[in-house]
Amino acid sequence: MPSHDETSPVAPRAGSVRRPAPARTRSTGGGGAAGRGRPPAGGRARTTASRTGAGAPPRTGGPGRPPAGRGPAKGSAKPKGKGPRSKKQRRKRRLKIAAGVIGGLFVLLGVFVGVVYASTEVPSPDSISTAQTTVIYYSDGQSEMARLGDENRTNVQLEEVSEPARNAVLAAENRSFFSDPGISFTGIIRATWNNLTGGSTQGGSTITQQYVKNAILQNSEQTFSRKFQELFLAIKLDNNYSKDQILENYLNTIYYGRGAYGIESAANTYFGVPAAQLTAEQGAVLAVLIRSPSANDPEVDPEGAQRRWGLVLDAMVEEEWMSADARAAAVYPPVLPKAGSSLGIPSGPEGLIVQQVKRELMERYQYSEQQVDAGGLRITTTVNAGHQDIAEATVAGVMDGEPENLREALVAVDPRTGGVTAYYGGAVGTDNDYARAQRQPGSSMKPYALAAALDQGIGVEARRDGSSPQKFEDRELEVVNSGGASCASCTLREAITRSLNTTFYGLAYEVGPDKVREVALAATGMPESWQIGGQEKPTLANADGLTGSAIGIGEYEMRPINQAVGFATFASGGIYRTPHFIQSVADSEGAVLLKNEGEAGEQVIRPDVANDVTYALLDVADSSDRGLDGGREVASKTGTQGLNRTDNSDAWMVGYTPSISTAVWIGSDVREPIKDYRERIIYGSGLPGQIWQEFMDAVLAGTPEEDMADEPMIEGDTGEGVEAPAPEPTETSAPPPPPAPEQPVDDGTTEEDPADPVEPPVEEPVDPADPETPTDPQGGTPALPANPGNPQNPPGGGNPNG
């Protein structure tokens, strides 16, 4: 039997009819064409009917079938099925498959869009206002420090906004607002193209889209996901609310700069009138601010603001919202001066922390003012609530009853992370920040000179001439020690404990002032230059930009935060970590945007140098009667800057353990004598030392004691040492009286303070010229004039702000 049904092809053909199989007969070689025998195996044979000539008439062949009675070519062994498809057929087949796939994708996309649209919820205007509020927390992430964005906001109904002001906003942002579907297709296509090609991220969104982006999503990123969200929300918003409702919500939630949220607050902030009284000219000023509140502020960029203002008025004329005559007569309206916004900033000392947080977000992390003030951020700071309370209470308690002209600053830094744990720059949160004021550090600068010497192989047991007075080649006036102290051969450790000016001026001269400056800049992270009056001026230099040996005794300005960070570098074994206030930032939904748990830091001072600086500073606190409770080890240094022969202008106390570094400063707004309520001269170990001691004791109470340097690691003296003094004969008589307390010097050099200073000798005070104090062009911090006491190497003057 053949392997297949001889009455049908292998694969059915179109139009063929299945016939019942007739009775088959084995071919005997006859009955067919003459001379034809049995077809080859696998070939196609004639039907029984054709071979016998009986039964049904011969098949004439159907569509796609050869004429009846014709078999395959002689010798064919392959069954005949479909022939190979042509290129046209294959192309059609592929097109059909592709069309099916695309159609399926469109169906899936339609289902997805429908589900997403149905599940998209448009928040209420009240919840949007809450979401815009930025909340700042202490380091525990729970205790609130401040809220930004929920105070200078007054919602009004649309009819309470003047029609010219409304038209100005429409002319600037979305002329077709009342006729468009809530989205701009050309804007979406342009944004998509720019996203793909890396082109400009220019605007083009409708007011509805802007409302979604700025008020609901609070996200200005040019990404597909954000645009996708914006698209659905804008469409649903346009379907669910009237155009008037959308415009009203938009005008009430948009940020106009200067801390003003909504057009009512903006009208009062910029013009002192309600929104209902805004003129077309005033409305155009506000309309210009919407795109970039800070950059387009007329006080920041008056020319640019007026140019854009004119374009808005021109657009109003084109839309027939303003007559050509009125446009020709239009004059740029007067704008109220820009005042420091206190929006949400606490009035107490923590307000200065909030300002530092905002600065860090904008300068270090490149956040815009609008993102910070109106972005609904949740910011956790590094500031410990308990440490901050202690700092404020300690300053207030110690300074209670002291003269009104005195100003204070306290900064505490964690050496292990660089995080600021306490920050006091003044009692008023919107006033000058004295923690960032540039002041002459006096003897609190000496550790950097010691570190420079150690780096050159001059150990802390090396001896130097500390006799007083002394002359130096780079200075016209003599250098003297405070209170007449003198030591012809003291070790550097003894000299820094006794704070001998002559020793450390001479040491800076020996190792090189530039080397001392290099060490100080590395340890503190201070910049190479400050901005002074719009000009770059070198840091740690005099008014001429030169650094002399006076750097060794602290005649060049630093800030309290610099000293806290610099001493923290010593505490961490020479590793510098950038000081910071921000621990983490999240959005209003809790999604973390950035996190700073402290950096690994950079080894800027050799560990053995840092160890030996610490070792040399361990006796200072006890010698000043400022030792910590329980004899806890602490490295510290006092600092006092003289104003004239009898008075001081600045007093410092700076010290650290491995877990905290704290700097305290006391001075005044101008360079003037600082005295306590009993008219006693203020030294570093006086009021600053008391604040520092009480603060350190309180924050360290109950914490484990930490080991500090037990012995020096650098031995020897590669420099210009002096011989050790001969031992004095033992006497049984009464011990000699203690050295006289340090007294201010007459040439601006630093002096140190005893634990219990005595009244200074009566001398005629020098009354140097005291020019009017310059102002700080950047931060508003008080400035000090240059020290007039040293014509060849005067201390740095002015008020640079880094």
Kindly give the interhelix angle for 385-399 and 687-700, rounded to the nearest 10 degrees. 150
What gap in Å lies between CA 757 and CA 680, rounded to an integer? 9
- ω before 298 within 30° of 0 (cis)? no
Active site residue 162: no
Tell me how far the alpha carbon of residue 139 is from its chain's centroid: 17
Do 699 and 659 contact (CB within 8 A), yes or no?
no
173 is catalytic: yes
Structure token pair of residue 65: 């079938």
Handedness of CA 229, 234, 239, 241 (dihedral sign): positive
DSSP, collapsed to helix, strand or coil, labels residue 50 as helix
Contact 720, 732 (CB under 8 A): no
CA distance 734 to 134: 68
C-beta separation of 257 from 293 below 8 A: yes
Nearby residues of 636 by Cβ (< 8 Å), 6 or more positions away: 617, 620, 621, 624, 626, 653, 654, 655, 656, 692
Catalytic option among 443, 482, 584, 668: 443
Segment holding 508, helix H or strand E: helix 501-511
Catalytic residue among 173, 230, 694, 752: 173
What is the torsion angle, in degrees rounded to the nearest 10, for the CA atoms of residue 504, residue 507, residue 512 and residue 517?
-30
The two structure tokens encoding residue 8: 């049908």
C-alpha 119/C-alpha 582 separation (Å) is 36
User: Residue 708 to residues 618, 623, 712: CA-CA distances in angstroms?
Assistant: 9, 18, 11
- Residue 557 CA, distance from chain mean position: 26
Residues 6+ apart with CB under 8 A from 752: 442, 443, 482, 498, 499, 638, 639, 640, 683, 684, 742
Query: Per the structure block, which two tokens stand in for 538?
Result: 């070198």
Shortest CA distance to 462 belongs to which of 725, 727, 723?
723
What amino acid positions are annotated as catalytic residues?
Answer: 173, 443
